[in-house]
């Protein structure tokens, strides 16, 4: 398998889906739809939607086989909303995202807030409409994404992260809760959405959850390492902002070397979980590898 070529193919499929499933920029009010597309079409690694597509095809095709593309776009809409809101002045107050001015810098704060709200809502509308012919699947997908992005996980993780800022007594367990909620929940959900679309059984779904959780933690530890070691131009977002904000990160808590060891251990655990699944796991295993060595 040619991993870079396959990643490019799946990423192009995601770009096509984004253009297909998002209202055109000319839809009134044009400024809002332009802002939604501005943030979503700025690039990004597309990890979560690629995971949906790659996980769905691990399992034998059903008849009829639901197309995972709408679910892939839905999770990217949700992820992008969280980035737009995270960059707002009341949160991280950041100027750079995906190599471009953040949404509130390019437009204004109210437009950015509304574009984030609209992407969040659109994610669920997309799942409800694209899978309407299979109501139990639509229900399972909506429940999964709602659970991963709600007050106990994504939003809860963001709240815990804000509360933890400048708190010098954050423990490794506190930090793990924040990152399991903020980062790993969405990566886990991406793999589970792919499994649900492919009618994976309960045991395979549990394995996908475990793989996603480990991959999510590996991804976040790598993110902390990059924040401490890479530059803003490479990252496409402001580097060094965790230390500046006084945030407790894996690097602050464990040091660089130990953080790199922890990231490797989480990647290994993700790979072990994926190897428990049947089907052609080559692409997913290579994707886990590429995430552990990524430069942005």
Q: Is 86 in the site for ligand GRG (CB under 6 A)?
A: yes
**For ligand GRG, the closer CB: 59 or 144:** 144
**For ligand GRG, the closer CB: 115 or 154:** 154
* 155 CB-near residues (< 8 Å, 6+ apart): 149
Q: Is 40 in the site for ligand GRG (CB under 6 A)?
A: no
Among 33, 85, 214, 271, binds ligand GRG (CB under 6 A): 85
Among 98, 104, 122, 271, binds ligand GRG (CB under 6 A): 98
Q: Which stretch binds ligand GRG (CB under 6 A): 4-12, 79-87, 189-197, 263-271?
A: 79-87
Among 11, 39, 55, 82, binds ligand GRG (CB under 6 A): 82
**For ligand GRG, the closer CB: 8 or 139:** 8
* Smallest distance from ligand GRG to CB 44, Å: 3
* Smallest distance from ligand GRG to CB 135, Å: 28
3-state secondary structure 63-117: CCCCCCHHHHHHHHHHHHHHHHHHHCCCCCCCCEECCEECHHHHCCHHHHHHHHH
Q: How far does CA 160 lie from the centroid of its chain?
A: 18
Where do contacts with ligand GRG occur on this chain (CB under 6 A)?
Answer: 44-45, 47, 82-83, 85-86, 98, 154-155, 158, 182-183, 220, 223
């Amino acid at each position: 398998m040619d991993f870079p070529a396959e990643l490019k193919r799946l990423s192009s499929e995601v770009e096509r889906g984004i253009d297909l499933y998002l209202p055109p920029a000319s839809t009134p009010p044009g400024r809002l739809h332009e802002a939604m597309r501005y943030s979503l079409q700025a690039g990004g690694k597309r990890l979560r939607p690629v995971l949906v597509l790659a996980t769905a095809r691990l399992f034998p095709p059903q008849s009829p086989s639901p197309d995972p593309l709408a679910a892939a776009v839905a999770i990217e809409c949700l992820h992008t909303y969280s980035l737009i809101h995270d960059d707002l002045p009341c949160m991280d107050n950041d100027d750079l995202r995906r190599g471009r001015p953040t949404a509130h810098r390019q437009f204004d704060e109210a437009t950015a807030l509304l574009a984030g709200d609209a992407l969040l809502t659109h994610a669920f509308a997309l799942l409800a409409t694209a899978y309407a012919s299979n109501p139990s699947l639509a229900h399972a997908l909506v429940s999964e994404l709602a659970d991963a992005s709600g007050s106990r996980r994504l939003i809860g993780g963001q709240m815990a992260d804000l509360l933890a800022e400048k708190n010098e007594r954050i423990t490794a367990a506190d930090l793990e809760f924040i990152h399991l909620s903020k980062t790993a929940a969405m990566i886990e959900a991406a793999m589970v959405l792919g499994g649900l679309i492919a009618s994976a059984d309960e045991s395979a779904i549990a394995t996908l959850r475990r793989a996603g959780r480990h991959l999510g933690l590996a991804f976040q530890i790598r993110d902390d390492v990059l924040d401490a070691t890479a530059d803003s131009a490479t990252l496409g977002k402001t580097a060094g902002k965790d230390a500046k904000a006084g945030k407790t990160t894996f690097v602050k808590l464990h040091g660089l070397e130990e953080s790199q060891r922890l990231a490797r251990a989480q990647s290994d655990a993700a790979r072990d979980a994926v190897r428990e699944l049947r089907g052609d796991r080559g692409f997913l295993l290579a994707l886990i590898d590429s995430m552990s060595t990524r430069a942005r």
